[in-house]
Structure 1
Amino acid sequence: MKSNLQYWLVEHPSILHFSWTEGQTPASTPLFLILALLSYLSLTLLLTRLPLSPLNPALLKPISALHNLTLLLLSLIMAVACTLSILSSPSSTLCFSPHTNPTGPLFFWAYVFYLSKILELLDTLFIILSGSLRRLSFLHVYHHATVLVMCYLWLHTRQSLFPVALVTNASVHVLMYAYYMLCAVGIRPRWKRAVTDCQIVQFVFSFAVSGRMLYLHFSGSGCSGIWGWCFNAVFNASLLALFLDFHGKSYAGPKDKRS
């Protein structure tokens, strides 16, 4: 089984010889990124201002469940595939050489991860169509919009450390989309807090690993994509602050303390 996974997720010719080339790889241009972000933000603003009636739950919930199942399976595949790619990589994934080319399995899965973030934008549409606008927080929209920029920069700058971030983020999303999928089919799991806790741990872990990357960067010939990492670090810091605030407001009540 491991050899089959190794072939289909790492050594398949389409993956092994993948190359990110701006202007040639689909969705690789800055213009595409800008248009995608503007479309997402403008449509979100427009749809929240229109007097839309909530979509019939009998229709919306199966579609939402399928969407969440798709992202759950995709996240699981990306987490496993990138882990195998890291183990197969001859160079350090914490610090790419400044002359690294965006080719091979690691960059293939970074590209798939980038495209998956476009698919995740549908989360916002399902919230709007359900009529639950109170769930459409600043954190939700900010996270979905900015993570797309972050993933683009992983590829654009050939950013060191992204494989570790991809594995941890995809792993957390397996748990998160499993929760959302169960909710969509009428099952309310009792581990919602665990999803938020894992997201917070993910951000803390990213800063801990970044310390090692920075040491390698300043003690050697440098690591590729350091400016992309700077954006990533600021973004993660802002998300950590927002998630801590969300965690405090959502789980600090007396009822939670008794559970």
Structure 2
Amino acid sequence: MEALFSAVHYWLVEHPAITQYEWKQGHTLGSSPLFLAVTVTAYLAVTLSLHRFAFLPPLSAVALRFITAAHNLILCLLSLVMAVGCSLAAFHQMPNRDWRWAVCFPANHTPPRGPTFFWAHVFYFSKILEFIDTLLIVLGGSSSRSRRLSFLHVYHHAVVVVMCYLWLSTAQTLLPVALVTNASVHVLMYGYYLLCTLGRRPRWKRLVTDCQIIQFVFSFMVSGLMLYYHFTGSGCSGILGWCFNAVFNASLLALFLDFHSKNYHAKKKDHEKNK
């Protein structure tokens, strides 16, 4: 067991490419504002074009199921690796095993380098990979597109890439906590989608949405602790990036609560009426 842990720790934390990682604005892959702007704009433009004009023919049911299953499996496993990798990296990188570091990076003393920021970079690119979610919805045909391509879906996929960019460019405080909780929820979410694609629809669909809402509530609770450290100490790094993150999370929480109410409360009422 110890040998297994050592191997995992080496490949997820101690490998030279990970320990020596450093985000250099304009030099590291994907670190320029132009890359960010082109990526998000292209996603929105392609999504709008495909949704309105549907110039690509829908995939066959067999091809769509195969590609969707592969995509969900990749993102489920990648989310698990990111959650484990960032957890081990944060514990390894925090000074003197002081847990406050995971909540409040010291202002002006936390350059975006080391294993924790390596996993933040992987997470950043994983959000671009998730754009395939939208493509698969569009290629699923008009009925799938109208049913699943919502404002919440497109808004979340576009803005989360900006959020992840700010995590790295500002060495944003709370980054490890946000990454681990989000990746953990995505393990559950993509695991659910994978099972659905394979024809085994679990009964815990509502659990996925509930966990997403709990994630946002938890982030606000931890943010309260971070703000306490920020105003009673020497400050926390990347506070402006955190402000963007907080506003984004608040908007997502409102949208998820609306989605939860429309999809579950309404169904519950209809079920009670039909009794």
What CA distance in whole angstroms lies between the structure 1 residues aligned with 2:70 and 2:25?
32
Q: Which one of 44, 48, 68 corresponds to residue 45 of structure 1?
A: 48
Matching of residues 20-31 of structure 1 within 5 Å: 20-31=23-34
Cα distance in 1 for residues equivalent to 2:9 and 2:168: 23
Q: 1:139 aligns with which of 128, 143, 152?
A: 152
Offset from partner CA, 1:55-96 (integer Å, 9 cap, x none): 101111101100110000000000001111122123311111
Counterpart of 1:2?
A: 5
Structure 2: gaps (5+ residues): 96-100
Instruction: Kindly indicate whether residue 264 of structure 2 is the aligned counterpart of residue 248 of structure 1.
Output: no
Question: Distance between the aligned counterparts of 1:11 and 1:67, measured in 2?
Answer: 28
Return the letter of the residue paired with 2:203. R
TM-fit CA distance, 1:256: 8.2
Q: Which amino acid aligns with 2:64?
A: L
Q: CA deviation at 1:25?
A: 0.7
> 1:95-110 counterparts in 2 under 5 A?
95-99=104-108, 100-110=110-120
SS at match of 2:139: helix
Identify which of 9, 14, 18 aligns with 1:15. 18
Superposed, 1:162-201 pairs within 5 Å as 162-201=175-214
- Identify the match of residue 60 of structure 1 among 55, 61, 64: 64
- Deviation per residue, 1:102-125 (Å, 9 max, x gap): 100000000000000000011000
1:149 corresponds to: 162
Matched residue, 2:235? 222
Distance 1:105 1:256 in 2: 50
Q: Is the 8 A contact 2:163 2:245 kept in 1?
A: yes
| Cα-Cα RMSD | 1.2
Any gaps of 5 or more consecutive residues in structure 1? none
- TM-score with structure 1 setting the length: 0.97
Aligned to 1:158: 171
Which segment is superposed worse, 97-106 or 71-80?
A: 97-106
Alignment partner of 2:102 out of 93, 97, 106: 93
**How many residue pairs were aligned?**
258
